[in-house]
Amino acid sequence: MSSMVAKLTVAYTLIVILTMLVMLALGRFILEAEMVRGVDLLNKAEFREIRNRMVKGSLVLPEQSFIGDVQRDAVVDASLYYLQIRRPDGSILYKSQDAGDFELPPPAPDQDNWFYNSTTLGELRVGKYSVGPYEIQVASSVENIRVLSKRYYGICGILLAVILVISVPTGYLLSRYAFSPIRRIQRTAARISAENLRERIPERSARDEVADLIRLLNAMFDRLEISFTKLWQFSGYASHELKTPLALIKLYAERLLLGGGLDTKQKEAVQQQMECVDHLHSVIQKLLFIARPEAGEEGLNLKPQQTSDLVRTFAEDAEVLCEEAKLNFEVAANDKLTMSIDAPLITQVWFNLLSNAIKASKPGATIRFSSVGNDRRWQVVISDQGRGLPGAELKNIFQPFYKLQGDPGDESQGSGLGLAICEKIIKMHHGEIRAVNNAGGPGLTITILIPLRH
């Protein structure tokens, strides 16, 4: 269970259920105790009636004087009480007649009220009282209490089921409400990136933990924006400072070549130096393109473009490049779409991908290109028949300076910035680019998805 909303819903439901269980258990204990107390009071009330028949003033009447009155009262209340009177010697002076041979045993000295299970009368609540030398026991059935307790358990079960049905959606709604500010923070924070550092999370007027978190995050984004701005400024200054020395190095190298006086080995060394300067200049340009802050949608030159025309123009050049590498180039599909794109940058992406596919393919292989679309997006697919890539490399090929694992001395792998630039350009178009190995055979497939702009 990964969702905090789900966890809080479960926790809320458990707390409510456990609280209700405790309250119902406590209610059952209190209710049963009060009912037993009520039986004790009724037993005591019956004893008082019996005592009134046995006492006159402060004197206890002789047995033959009160036994008749006691018997008449006991017969009247026989359905409610069981009565038993013991003489001082322990013999029974009187007991209720409808109990047959049943007798209550003598109680312990410290017992005044207790429960007694009888096979004849069932469970009884017994009270012990004294009138002069006589011991009086009054007992009442507690069967009604037990029946009521069982009904109470049934009602509790129904209440718990109702509470469970109510507490789950209530807990879910409360959890959703509690986390709604967090979700707003999450959505806003997800939009903040190196290309969008100016956006901030809307602050709340309330002075609570969420408001403090928002202020803390906004302060952090302020610091990040300052740091990125300084980094971009440094990149601009560094590129400007590097371009001039590189241009001078190349200029002096060209003068050496044009001036003559160099032997063959010296000319080769100077030419290699110029190639290194060109390569370094290209790397600087690529780094600036990736790092510059304005490389978002505002950095694009968007114009309506017929994608089919763009593909045909690209295919003409691609066929020439593939033919030179003894490869076949095939346009599998070319739907006619009108897209608002930066055509030169999109074409640059295609040529970067084509260059990689040519390097990965063996002579005689085929590179396939397709351009299809619908009313929602434009999909471009370039696939080759090379060796493909391990899964670990597929996750990293769009990272800057990442080079495929192979011969360390293989300079054909380039600077490791081409695919990073491709991803940058596609993201500038609000699209995505991904790479997968071919399912039906060797090779790699690059898929580009760009949402259609109306």
| SS3 readout for 101-170 | CCCCCCCCCCCCEEEEEECCCEEEEEEEEEECCEEEEEEEECHHHHHHHHHHHHHHHHHHHHHHHHHHHH
Q: Tell me which amino acid residue 386 is.
A: G
pLDDT at 226: 83
Half-sphere exposure of 283 (CA within 13 A, CB side): 14
pLDDT at 409: 42
- Here the tokens at position 72 are 């008449």
Q: 129-178 pLDDT, tens per residue? A: 999 899 999 999 998 888 888 898 888 889 889 988 998 888 888 888 87
Q: Any bridge partners for residue 333, and if so which? A: 370
Among 198-202, 306-310, 399-403, 411-415, the range with the most confident prediction by mean pLDDT is 306-310
Mean pLDDT of 308-313: 93
Mean pLDDT of 211-228: 83
Torsion angle (degrees, nearest 10) of CA 48, 50, 51, 54: 160
Q: How confident is the model at residue 290 (pLDDT cuts 50, 70, 90)?
A: low
Is residue 395 over pLDDT 60?
A: yes
Q: Within a 10 A sphere around the Cβ of 125, how many other Cβ atoms?
A: 21
Q: Which helix (H) or strand (E) covers residue 285, if one does?
A: helix 264-291
Mean pLDDT of 354-379: 91
3-state secondary structure of 207: coil
How far apart, in whole angstroms, are the C-alpha atoms of residue 392 and residue 195? Answer: 27
Is residue 194 over pLDDT 60?
A: yes
Residue 13: which region, alpha, beta or left (left: phi > 0; alpha: psi -120 to 50)?
alpha
Backbone angles phi, psi at 311, to 5 degrees: -65, -40
Mean pLDDT of the chain: 83
How far apart, in whole angstroms, are the C-alpha atoms of residue 18 and residue 31? Answer: 20
Q: Worst-scoring range by mean pLDDT, 104-108, 112-116, 354-358? A: 104-108
Going by C-alpha positions, the residue among 389, 378, 330, 308 that lies closest to residue 356 is: 389
Q: Which helix (H) or strand (E) covers residue 406, if one does?
A: none
> CB burial class (10 A; 0-12, 13-18, 19+) of residue 375?
exposed
Is residue 410 over pLDDT 50?
A: no
Strand pairing category for 303-306 and 82-86: unpaired
pTM of the model: 0.48
Backbone angles phi, psi at 281, to 5 degrees: -65, -40
Is residue 37 over pLDDT 90?
A: yes
pLDDT at 101: 79
> CB burial class (10 A; 0-12, 13-18, 19+) of residue 200?
middle
Inter-axis angle of helices 307-324 and 343-360, to 10 degrees?
A: 30
- Here the tokens at position 328 are 């076949």
Q: Which residue has the tokens 């500010």?
A: 181
Q: Worst-scoring range by mean pLDDT, 100-104, 139-143, 161-165, 191-195? A: 191-195
How far apart, in whole angstroms, are the C-alpha atoms of residue 120 and residue 2? Answer: 61
pLDDT at 411: 45
Contact 35, 145 (CB under 8 A): yes
Contact 219, 211 (CB under 8 A): no
How far apart, in whole angstroms, are the C-alpha atoms of residue 338 and residue 306? Answer: 5
Q: Tell me which amino acid residue 437 is.
A: N
Backbone angles phi, psi at 446, to 5 degrees: -105, 125
How far apart, in whole angstroms, are the C-alpha atoms of residue 380 and residue 433? Answer: 9
Percent of the chain at pLDDT > 90 equals: 24
Contact 327, 361 (CB under 8 A): yes
Task: List all residues 6 or more positions away from 374 whose beta carbon is below 8 Å from its beta carbon.
Answer: 452
Task: List all residues 6 or more positions away from 353 whose beta carbon is below 8 Å from its beta carbon.
Answer: 382, 422, 446
pLDDT at 405: 56
